Chains A and B, each alone.
Chain A
Amino acid sequence: MKLFTRKDQAEDRAGAAEVTPAETVSAFLTAFGRRDVEAALSVVDDSVRVDIHPTGLREGGSAELRAFLTETATAFPDLLVTVKNLIETGSVVTAELKVEGTQAAVYLGAINQEKHLDVDQAWRFTVSGDRVTAVDAYWCQNQLYRRLAVKRLDQISLV
């Protein structure tokens, strides 16, 4: 059965074009802040290229992004993502944000000592249509580990 006509597809594309890159990124970050990983990924293209520099992830894909978002949402049940600044420069959207929460599980190798995390971050998104096609995340892992009471970079899991 034919579900879509050419006209339907054209209308669908036209609808997608009405969503600005900043709105797409806001939808992603709002869902992330709600710890709703599936909703966040619903605006991410399957072929997304992901660099999460502090974790060492380079040229990852949607599976790695899903794993990172899930680990964050799991480790911080009271996760709070505050977007401080959202800059749209054409198809690139850059968000300055603060990530806060109380650790409740192992996170990026750091054992759970129920410490409070607050780390300022910058995420750079590339958006095509209504889909995120690239994500680059920047923050200082030294700041993150300091707040989680990690003492040495070569002994992340030791107290």
Chain B
Amino acid sequence: MTTTELQSRSREAADQVTAFFDAYRRHDVDAMTDLCADNADFSYVPFEVWGKQRVLRGDGKVKTVGKTIWVGLIASFPDLFTDVHTVDANDAGDVVVTCDIGGGQQLAWGPAEPRGGKFSEPHLFIFHVDGDGLIDRISAYWDGAGINRQLGHLEVD
């Protein structure tokens, strides 16, 4: 692979992820998932709901777990926004994004009851884009306590 082709791979990966965030900004979850491979892995690391018998985690596939979380998030925060700050990519298809995500709460989100609160929280996303130009992995990190504090939910569930 030539240097130009490698730079092209890096650029294409960054463009695919930029398109993902453009769709996220439009709340177009179908478009978000269409940018991903059918079997794309999904991990929202802080997403952890502790029940009496088991712990639900935000791990699985984009087109099952990911899509469900995004639809629920947008329903709870109808004015959800994503402000992308940095996009860094390499020729292996890795793309790292820093952004702020936030919005005003209208419906319950996890254990946080709607109190009319708003949040804005820094996020870090790690994507991998495959050789066909589709996203085949999404991982994200953020501080759930920061969001809960802003929404007025102070219990550590």
**Residues of A in contact with B (beta carbons under 8 Å apart):** 51, 53-54, 85, 87-90, 92, 94, 96, 120-122, 124, 136, 138-143, 145-146, 150-154
Contacts and interface: CB of A to CB of B under 8 A. Distances in A.
Given A120-B45, A138-B142, A146-B157, 18 more contacts: A53-B142, A87-B126, A89-B94, A96-B126, A122-B141, A138-B123, A138-B141, A140-B143, A140-B144, A141-B143, A141-B144, A141-B146, A142-B46, A142-B156, A143-B144, A150-B156, A151-B156, A152-B154
B5 interface: no
Nearest to A121: B141
Contacts of A87: 90, 94, 96, 126
A128 B123 CA distance: 23
B124 A89 contact: no
B88 interface: yes
B145 A153 contact: yes
A142 B98 contact: no
Contacts of A151: 155-156
- Of B86, B95, B144, most A-chain CB atoms within 10 Å: B144
Given A54-B145, A87-B96, A153-B154, A140 B89 contact: no
A152 to B, nearest CB: 5
A20 to B, nearest CB: 12
Nearest to A55: B143
Contacts of B98: 124, 136
30 contacts: A53-B122, A53-B143, A54-B143, A87-B90, A87-B96, A87-B126, A89-B95, A89-B96, A92-B88, A94-B126, A120-B45, A120-B141, A122-B45, A122-B141, A124-B96, A136-B122, A138-B122, A138-B123, A138-B141, A140-B45, A140-B46, A140-B141, A140-B144, A142-B46, A142-B148, A146-B50, A152-B155, A152-B156, A153-B149, A153-B155
B96 A90 contact: no
B90 A88 contact: yes
Interface in B63-97: 86, 88-90, 94-96
A54 B149 CA distance: 12
A140 B89 CA distance: 25
Interface string B44-65: 0110101000000000000000
